[in-house]
Structure 1
Amino acid sequence: MTITLPDEMRDRLERDARAGGFATVDEYVLSLVREDLVRGDEVPDPAPTRLTPRNRAELEAMLDEGMSSGGDVIADAAFRGERRRVLLEKLARKSGVAS
């Protein structure tokens, strides 16, 4: 989808996106649309809102919380292999392909 905006509105969106910690105006506008849909009781995707950071500050806070939430994880070859196996199983179930 392409939306054409007047220059002054585009400038305002760019400033607001930067101030909100968004990498792009697209991300900022998408977050505004999501918030509007949630207020209307329509959620555009199944991702819980609490797991979707709205800006860089929220993302950093979520990362800090995750880093201090538990013990160390050793991400060796066995760990990566297990994560890959689980992901492939989920993808197979989602696409209806038997594994």
Structure 2
Amino acid sequence: MTTLNISLPDEVRSLADEQVASGRFASVSDYVASLIREDGERAERQRVEGQLLRRLNAGPARAVTDADFDAVRGRLEAEIARRRKP
């Protein structure tokens, strides 16, 4: 694990302390790590959505079956799992 020292405005530190006090996080470090992880996941969702939109706009529409959705879901889940491995 790497140590990172950051400066926070008092109001932001108070918000982080409130999250810890609520019991949702064990420490401010856990809270910040969670925020960074969520931001990475959000960026990945946006990337995937962008790819999907480009493909949707790339040609004429066709019927999509449950098998098509299952295949896409399987590829996405495999990719997400691969990226989460340390």
TM-score bucket (shorter structure): 0.3 to 0.5
Determine which structure has greater relative contact order: mean sequence separation of CA pairs < 8 Å that are 6+ residues apart, divided by chain length: 1
| Higher percent of residues as helix | 2
The alignment's TM-score, normalised by the length of structure 1, stands at 0.39
